[in-house]
Amino acid sequence: MRRLRLLAITTTALTYFLIFVGGLVRVSGAGLGCPDWPRCFGRWIPPTRLDQLPPEFDPSTFNITLAWIEYVNRLVGVVVGLFILALAIVVVIYYRRHKRLLTPAILALILVAIQGWQGSIVVAMGLDPAVVNIHLYTALIIAGFLVYLTQQTFYLDPERNDERHTRYSPGLANTLVVLFLVVMVQVILGSQVRAGFEFLMQTLRFVGNLSVMELIGPGVSIHMWVGVLVLLLGGILIYQLRYTSESVSTLMAVSATLVVILMVGQVILGFSLMRVGLPPIMQLYHLWMGSILMGTVLVMITALQHNKELKSGS
């Protein structure tokens, strides 16, 4: 189980790194840095000079920085795919009787194959914002399955039962589920705002970032107020863990602390984006922190469910 756990942790970490790299591709405008797929300018390794371009490609479309950013994204994607494949193989061979390992491993493998196909569609459709968003959502679902699988490798170890003596607040489950759903809605809203921003920037090239934000419409305001709701739910979560729960496990305490840090960071980034007009590096961290926040809340939901099962003896 220890080797499986290490493989699961590594695969999950690489997946979140891939989400970061994918965000970097988007904010840098490198999505078409390689105009073909799966090769890059007809080569398995991108060109480093104009004279290396095949004759069928327009030299004006070549930007070495953007090409290599996109190429690294594809490489990381391949590595993640191979790790998920290895994880699924190990689970099927040695742990197929454990449905809580087998199901997420198989689903993650299926989705990562779909994700690879989606990558070709993203390039073929010229970075259509809706297609790019679907690509993001698929990555988040894969990450969720891997987070769940990784956590189960700890719970299936009989030596790890630090949830047994914990007493959680009766309303904690509802708070966590609502928080997860609201964070998910917030990430979707944020991606839609980003898609609208990209469309208007392409259409109205002479308009500044802040002016474009005003043209997007009510989506920006809704996104902001949902962020405030997330922060309020975080406050309720901390109150329930601190004042109406007993012997909170280390995992729950650390996860709750990380949730608060991510929430505060998201609020700061969100208001900063509104004030200074969506600097690319801030967009990148805003998205990535949102994906980590979703995963952390999922960890807490799974931990709470595990606690209930221990109490019921199942």
Determine the Cα–Cα distance for residues 34 and 62; give it in Å rounded to an integer: 8
Q: Locate CATH 1.20.120 in the chain.
A: 164-314
For residues 173-201, average pLDDT: 78
**Which residues are within 8 A (CB) of 303 and not within 5 positions of it... i.e. 6 or more apart?**
151, 163, 249, 251, 252, 255
Residue written as token pair 């939901």: 301
Determine the Cα–Cα distance for residues 77 and 142; give it in Å rounded to an integer: 12
Please report the pLDDT score of residue 109 as a whole number: 96
Residues found in the chain? 314
Specify the pTM: 0.86
Token pair, residue 278, equals 């969506």
Q: Is the pLDDT of residue 217 over 80?
A: no
What fold characterizes domain 164-314? Four Helix Bundle (Hemerythrin (Met), subunit A) (1.20.120)
* 188 band by pLDDT with thresholds 50, 70 and 90: confident
Bond prior to 218 in cis (omega within 30° of 0): no
Q: Is the pLDDT of residue 162 over 60?
A: no
Determine the Cα–Cα distance for residues 174 and 301; give it in Å rounded to an integer: 10
Is residue 127 left, alpha or beta, with left meaning phi > 0 and alpha meaning psi from -120 to 50?
left
| Cα of 84 vs its chain's centroid, Å | 16
Q: Is the pLDDT of residue 159 over 60?
A: yes
Q: Is the pLDDT of residue 239 over 70?
A: yes
Please report the pLDDT score of residue 314 as a whole number: 53
Determine the Cα–Cα distance for residues 29 and 48; give it in Å rounded to an integer: 19
Classify residue 115 by burial, with Cβ atoms within 10 Å: 0-12, 13-18, 19+. buried
Q: What is the pLDDT of residues 96-124, one digit of tens each?
A: 999 999 999 999 999 999 988 887 887 77
Determine the Cα–Cα distance for residues 231 and 182; give it in Å rounded to an integer: 10
Q: What is the pLDDT of residues 48-92, one digit of tens each?
A: 888 888 888 888 888 888 989 989 999 999 999 999 999 999 999
